[in-house]
Each structure stands twice: as C-alpha cells, then as structure tokens.
C-alpha cells in the first residue's frame, strides 16, 4: 500500500473548484477532428514531487480525479475512511500533456495548480521554429543570473532570449541590480538556419547551465553538443 510508505511530509489540499468535465469533453471533440494544417499542439509540463492527499465527499468527483491523475502518469491510491474518500498521489518526474489550443492549456494549468502540481507552459518563438539545424536544451532547476552595473541594461534582452527558446523566466529589478531566473525542466527544441548558428547556440546555452543536444541536417540521431 502506498499509504504505509508515504513520507512524513505528506501534504493535503482542498478539492479543486475547476471541473475537469468540460476539459475532457473538449479534448475528445478535438481528437475526433482532423487537425492537419492547424497550429502545433500546446504542451503543459508538470511534476508533483511530494505525496499529496486530497479529500472528497463526492464519490464521482473522487473517481474522476483519480482517473485523471493516473492518466497523467502519477502514482495514486484511493482510501475510504470517516465518511469520505482520500486520493493520495504524486508524480516524481516531470511529464508532459499535449492539448489542442492555448485556451485548453490555460484551463489545464489552472486545474493542475489547484491540484498541487508545479507547472510549466512555455512557447518557443516563431524565430526558432524553422531551420535546417535542430538544437534541444534542458535546465532542470531554477538558475538565477545577477546583473549589476552596465549589465542591468541588458537584463530585459537576456530574459527575452531565454523566453524565446522556450524557458520559464522570472525577472526582478531592484536598487542597482536585476535578477533573471530561468528553468527549462523538459526538453525544448529550437531550429536555426545553418551550421554556424548551430555551433554558436550550444556554447551560449552551456555557459548558462543548460544541457544541449544538436542534430545536424540530414542526420537522425542526436549527439551531445561539443
């Protein structure tokens, strides 16, 4: 039983106010239609590192919640006691969910946050969606760059560059310096025009703490960027 092995840091949460039923119905509708020629799907990433226990008085809500988090790849158990139902779950590793529209992505983000998940929903800039060379990048944990003096003036440009390649970014300027924090815990993919650009980007990304992989045009396998 999961219950007997839960960490002492088990947390509890109230039932989310957002119903999943409209989201699931919309997804089923989208999946039943041909989306050829449409925009690429939106991706929502999520983990839940620590066990979370959620209480339900309604059996149908509990079943829906358990089915959903199980479908998201979580470890989950249902426990009945004292006249209510507990759903206990966690998702130790980052996982991804693809949805058809930005509106659906926002709705799933709201539900996931209310259900205790950390979330990431980033977009690669149009500038990096086309090109013959492919670079993948990942930065698991938040990394903060402290900008002082003349570098304060370039903090916004630095943050924009990170956003453009699909990172989650937080910026905070105060007094005579600025902090820019970023992370990209799931692999993001960017495309650049030629080999020269593809050789420059991994170097810059690695200097910022990223792991990178580079695909040459005409080759199928990824290799670690030098």
pLDDT tens digit sequence for 11-23: 555 545 455 655 5
Q: How confident is the model at residue 159 (pLDDT cuts 50, 70, 90)?
A: very high
Least confident residue range of 89-93, 128-132, 145-149: 145-149
Q: Say if residues 75 and 93 touch (Cβ distance below 8 Å).
A: no
Query: Does residue 119 belong to any structural domain of this protein?
Result: no
Residues 161 and 58 in one domain: no
Residues 97 and 170 in one domain: no
Query: Does residue 85 belong to any structural domain of this protein?
Result: yes
Residue count (the chain)? 226
pLDDT surpassing 70 at residue 7: no
Query: Does residue 120 belong to any structural domain of this protein?
Result: no
Q: Among 57, 81, 114, identify where a domain stops.
A: 114
Residues 52 and 133 in one domain: no
Helix or strand holding residue 106 (H, E) = helix 102-114
Q: Say if residues 213 and 222 touch (Cβ distance below 8 Å).
A: yes
pLDDT surpassing 50 at residue 42: yes
Query: How many domains does the chain fold into?
Result: 2
By residue range, what is the domain housing residue 180?
126-224
Helix or strand holding residue 63 (H, E) = helix 59-71
* Residue 38 pLDDT: 47
Q: How confident is the model at residue 34 (pLDDT cuts 50, 70, 90)?
A: very low
């Amino acid at each position: 039983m999961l219950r007997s092995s839960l960490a002492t840091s088990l947390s509890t949460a109230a039932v989310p106010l957002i119903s999943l039923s409209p989201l699931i119905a919309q997804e089923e509708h989208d999946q039943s239609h041909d989306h050829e020629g449409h925009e690429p799907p939106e991706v929502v990433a999520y983990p839940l590192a620590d066990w979370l226990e959620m209480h339900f008085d309604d059996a149908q809500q509990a079943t829906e919640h358990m089915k959903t988090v199980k479908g998201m790849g979580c470890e989950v158990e249902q426990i009945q006691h004292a006249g209510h139902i507990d759903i206990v779950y966690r998702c130790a590793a980052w996982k991804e969910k693809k949805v058809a529209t930005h509106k659906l992505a926002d709705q799933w983000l709201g539900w996931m946050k209310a259900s205790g998940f950390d979330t990431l929903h980033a977009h690669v800039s149009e500038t990096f969606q086309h090109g013959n060379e492919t670079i993948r990048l990942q930065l698991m944990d938040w990394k903060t760059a402290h900008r002082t003096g003349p570098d304060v003036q370039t903090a916004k440009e630095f943050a924009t560059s990170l956003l453009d390649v699909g990172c989650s970014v937080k910026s905070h300027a105060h007094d005579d310096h600025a902090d820019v924090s970023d992370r990209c815990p799931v692999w993001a993919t960017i495309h650049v025009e030629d080999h020269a650009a593809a050789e420059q980007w991994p170097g810059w990304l690695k200097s910022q703490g990223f792991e990178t992989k580079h695909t040459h045009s005409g080759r199928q396998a990824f290799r670690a960027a030098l």
